[in-house]
């Protein structure tokens, strides 16, 4: 898992082993805290969490008849460790949508041991369907079993995989189109965005070869930018801080993917309507500054998403 995730550009600062919770007695301690606070009962040789006392319908087993704690008990102990022992302000859990019924139980269990359940936020992720030529890809050709991330990265680039997975919000189902992810055309959204960046780099590079470089803001006349496509591009650039804020507060990184797609679209529209290297040097300098800002923002957002911003394509 560690190797595959690092290949996918995910590097965790800490890998926490569940075995530590059992070894250090933290699972037993969590169960005892629940018992002390009146939230457990014994029945049929097992220890149960009294979820009904919390206003929930179904009670949950904490310790099986054979004396082995359940995963749920270890999960409670882990959150105590994170929010109390290690004292994180906030824990954000990413769970599969099939665990939706577990959300209320986990939050109530934290309240039952005296921890503010508001310090735990849970993001439920919907399942992804892999599609090929309009049909669902059901299994790995190599293993005959479920398709792993490693399997997928044998077929599509890391950039495409990261971009496509982040095109939908957590609560939305995603159909991952393998054919489209490999396509080198403007129909492929990651290609479309990266091409915008590469195109800008190409324009600025050619002008630089002629001795024409991007000027500091103080040396240009931004009031010359009056074309509708120029103003639309400026407005889209100005949206960046708010887009970041909303994305962070809503725990929806997909908003940044959609933003950079819209920005690339605004740039391509501008480019098709307005020449950059015009005879009017003041207007040329303004347009160079405009596209250079666009280049920086596209590169910045792609970097947030750990997707490369190529200078040539």
253-297 tens-digit pLDDT: 999 999 999 999 999 999 999 999 999 999 999 999 999 999 999
- Percentage of the chain with pLDDT > 90? 85
Contact 302, 197 (CB under 8 A): yes
Per CATH, which fold does 2-125 belong to? Rossmann fold (3.40.50)
Residue 236 has pLDDT above 70, yes or no: yes
Q: Which CATH number fits domain 189-304: 2.160.20.10, 1.10.630.10, 3.10.20.30, 1.10.730.10?
A: 1.10.730.10
Q: Is the pLDDT reported for residue 141 higher than 70? A: no
**pLDDT tier at 139, thresholds 50, 70, 90:** low
> How confident is the model over 151-164, as a mean pLDDT?
93
Name the DSSP letter for residue 119: G
Q: In what helix (H) or strand (E) does residue 47 lie, and over which residues does it extend?
A: strand 46-49
pLDDT tens digits, one per residue of 160-195: 999 999 998 888 888 999 999 999 999 999 999 999
What is residue 208's three-state secondary structure?
A: helix
Yes or no: say if 272 and 310 are a contact pair by the CB < 8 Å rule.
no
Q: For residue 233, name the pLDDT band (cuts at 50, 70, 90).
A: very high
Give burial (CB, 10 Å; 0-12/13-18/19+) of 154: exposed
Average pLDDT over residues 10-33: 96
CB 174 within 8 A of CB 128: yes
pLDDT of 204 strictly over 90:
yes
* Residue 30 confidence (pLDDT) above 80: yes
Band of residue 7 on the pLDDT scale cut at 50, 70, 90: very high
> Do 311 and 198 contact (CB within 8 A), yes or no?
yes
The token pair at 268 is 């391509």
Mean pLDDT of 150-169: 93
Taking the domains of the chain in order of start, what are their residue ranges?
2-125, 128-181, 189-304
Q: In this structure, are residues 154 and 124 in contact, taking their beta carbons and an 8 Å threshold?
A: no
Instruction: Label residue 144 by pLDDT band (50, 70, 90).
Output: low
Note the pLDDT of residue 171.
87
Q: Name 40's bridge partners.
A: 49
The pLDDT value given to residue 128: 86
Task: Give the C-alpha separation, 275 to 284, whole Å.
Answer: 8
| Bridge-based pairing state of the strands 46-49 and 40-43 | antiparallel
Predicted pLDDT at 251: 94
Average predicted confidence (pLDDT) for the chain? 94
Q: What values do phi and psi take at 88, rounded to 5?
A: -70, 145
Question: What does the pLDDT look like over 89-137, one tens digit per residue?
Answer: 999 999 999 899 899 999 999 999 999 999 999 999 988 888 888 888 8
Q: Assign 3-state DSSP to the chain and report helix, strand, coil percentages, each to 5.
A: 55, 10, 35
pLDDT confidence of residue 181: 93
Token couple for 202: 């190409």
Q: What's the average model confidence in pLDDT over 44-67?
A: 94
- Residues pairing with 46 in the sheet: 43
Q: What mean pLDDT comes out for the span 130-159?
A: 82
Tokens matching residue 259: 């933003």
């Amino acid at each position: 898992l560690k190797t595959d995730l690092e290949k996918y550009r995910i590097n965790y600062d800490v890998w926490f082993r569940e075995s530590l919770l059992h070894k250090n007695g933290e699972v037993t301690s969590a169960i005892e805290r629940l018992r002390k606070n009146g939230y457990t009962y014994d029945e049929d040789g097992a220890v149960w969490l009294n979820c009904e006392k919390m206003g929930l319908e179904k009670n949950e087993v904490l310790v099986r008849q054979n004396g082995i704690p359940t995963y749920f008990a270890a999960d409670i102990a882990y959150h105590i460790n994170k929010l109390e022992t290690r004292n994180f302000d906030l824990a954000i859990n990413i769970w599969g949508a099939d665990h939706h019924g577990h959300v209320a139980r986990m939050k109530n269990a934290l309240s039952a041991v005296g921890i503010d359940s508001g310090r735990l936020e849970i993001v439920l992720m919907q399942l992804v369907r892999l599609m090929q030529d309009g049909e669902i890809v059901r299994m790995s050709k190599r293993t005959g079993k479920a398709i792993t991330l490693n399997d997928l990265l044998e077929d599509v680039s890391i950039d495409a995989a990261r971009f496509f997975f982040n095109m939908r919000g957590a609560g939305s189902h995603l159909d991952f189109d393998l054919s489209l992810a490999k396509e080198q055309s403007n129909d492929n959204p990651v290609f479309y965005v990266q091409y915008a960046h590469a195109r800008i780099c190409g324009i600025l590079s050619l002008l630089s070869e002629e001795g024409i470089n991007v000027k500091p803001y103080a040396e240009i006349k931004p009031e010359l930018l009056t074309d509708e496509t120029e103003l639309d591009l400026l407005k889209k650039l100005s949206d960046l801080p708010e887009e970041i804020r909303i994305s962070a507060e809503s725990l929806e990184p997909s908003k940044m993917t959609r933003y950079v797609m819209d920005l690339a679209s605004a740039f391509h529209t501008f480019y098709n309507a307005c020449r950059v290297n015009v005879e009017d040097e003041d207007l040329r300098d303004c347009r160079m500054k405009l596209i250079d800002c666009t280049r920086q923002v596209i590169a910045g957002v792609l970097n947030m998403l750990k997707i490369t911003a190529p200078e040539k394509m």
